[in-house]
Structure 1
Amino acid sequence: MQRAAMRDQIDRRDQREQRARGLRRALVCAAAVPVMLIAAGCSSDSGSGDKASKGGDDGGATTSASKSASASPTVQAAVYKSLPEACKVLSEKTLDDLVPKAKSGKKGSSDDTSTRGSCSWSSLDNNGVKGSQFRWLNVSLLRFESDAARGAGDKLAQEYYRTQAQDARSVTGAKNTKSQPVQGVGDEATAVRYDLKKKEGSFKQETVVARTENVVVTVDYNGAGLAGEKTPDGDKLNKLAQKALKEAVAAVAKANGAGGDAGTPSSAPSKPASKSPSAEPSKDASRSPSPSASKKS
């Protein structure tokens, strides 16, 4: 009986110890779960925060780059990239018609021949006691490059073309001034004619200006009958000046690789991209030099 009672006590004690060990394990596990959850939660928050931060940084950079690109000014590239030599834009035949006694052209001074150039010729046909016929011719070329701050080259050329035409119509002392458009030369052209009295005699002045894309061509041509010679015919001088203008405009197109009748707008070459400093007006020659001055040149 006693041994049976002792076995019962031992069995009950073992059962209590087993239950106690099970309870401790449960408490330990229960305590470990929140720690794991907290750790997992912190890891998740940190990852999402990094991603959000990175996303914010990338998005800001992209937006900034986009704004910078859209803010960059753009301007259409100029068509013509070079100019011909001003003293070679007219044929010998045309020079013989306009300035028959001219020996050679006088090249104007320029620090950048790719943007501006000019050449002048003078002719004095001496007829002895009957007097003499004086002629003076000047061709000037001015090329405008596109500029982000100032605008497209052809627009700048158009502004200068209008200024040239207006200046020709506003010469001090000019009489009988007439102005008319010239058809079939470049994109736009104007002819201005007037009479000008000087100490040497009465001069007939012809100024014809044309714009072809981003280049402005100006031809100044005048003549006078000196020492008893008759005054030259204004209509004839006008036709000769327009002939010279058309040749000069064609020479510009040819120098830039255009073929055909380059005196017309349709013959302009393709428009490659470019950027370089814009041209400034040339002031190499006046419109009406005196015969004595031309002799010295």
Structure 2
Amino acid sequence: MLRDRVVVVTGAGRGIGREIALLCAQEGAAVVVNDFGGSAEGEGGDTNPARDVVNEIVAAGGKAVANLASVSDPAGATSIIEDAVKHFGRIDAVVNNAGILRDRIFHKMSEVDWRAVLETNLYGPFLVSKAAAPYFKEQKSGSFVHFSSASGLIGNFGQANYNSAKMGIVGLSNSIALDMERFGVRSNCIAPFAWSRLTATIPAETDAEKLRVERLKTMTAAKIAPLVVCLASDSAHCVTGQIFAVRKNEIFLFSVPRPIRSMHRSDGWTAETVASDLIPAFRSSFHPLERSADVFCWDPV
């Protein structure tokens, strides 16, 4: 499905990114395997993960090159796209998968932890996508696949930085889809459920949390890759601005915020009438506070 295409996958040295890079290569793409080699919290640098994936692709007869830049660095992000053009002559799809976690309860979260996660998980996709946009515009084609999260779309404890970034990704993707539709460029999001270095940090103290972790362990990273490959290919030429989730053998399409109730007063509103009339009328339609585990509470099969 990706024969003669060139795909960039960020954070491709391990986990979900690795599986995406391998399947893209298997489907015929030349792949730029980007990985900074950092820890789950984004610290340090190890060149081995990216190079190992490249070696695996080449050994199987595919084409790949390693890029070790950090997506949060503007020059590094640009170098990822430049490597695709330099080595393979073009760029056809960008998979913004790189991400880090620095989980803290909100009132204990430092500005350093807030900024680090936003810079990698939201600024990074912006910078890499921005570097690819001129090529996509000129060739009148291209696909962005961004990674959101059910924790961001629904909610989770102790992840104000991560959840904000992952909700921001939805806004970024939608804006790219709207701004670049005229050039034949598509942009979509995926919220993955998969066991990885990042999900391994989920607390497992209560029985419910332990059950959630056991569910996650059955959801392999390889389950995410087929949807990514399809969205990166011409087979999904009509799909843009959408939010998907993959949970083992299930694929979901998420809704987006739209008005669900309205109330009109011909003489306008006061704070008092909002309290006395609007809130009681709307209360039955208020959504509850939920975590992603509350919504996706059944065993995946």
Both proteins in one fold, TM over 0.5: no
Q: Pick the structure with greater CA Rg.
A: 1
Q: TM-score, normalised by structure 1?
A: 0.23
Q: TM-score, normalised by structure 2?
A: 0.23
Structure showing the higher strand proportion among its residues: 1
Structure showing the higher helix proportion among its residues: 2
**Greater RCO (CA < 8 Å, at least 6 residues apart):** 1
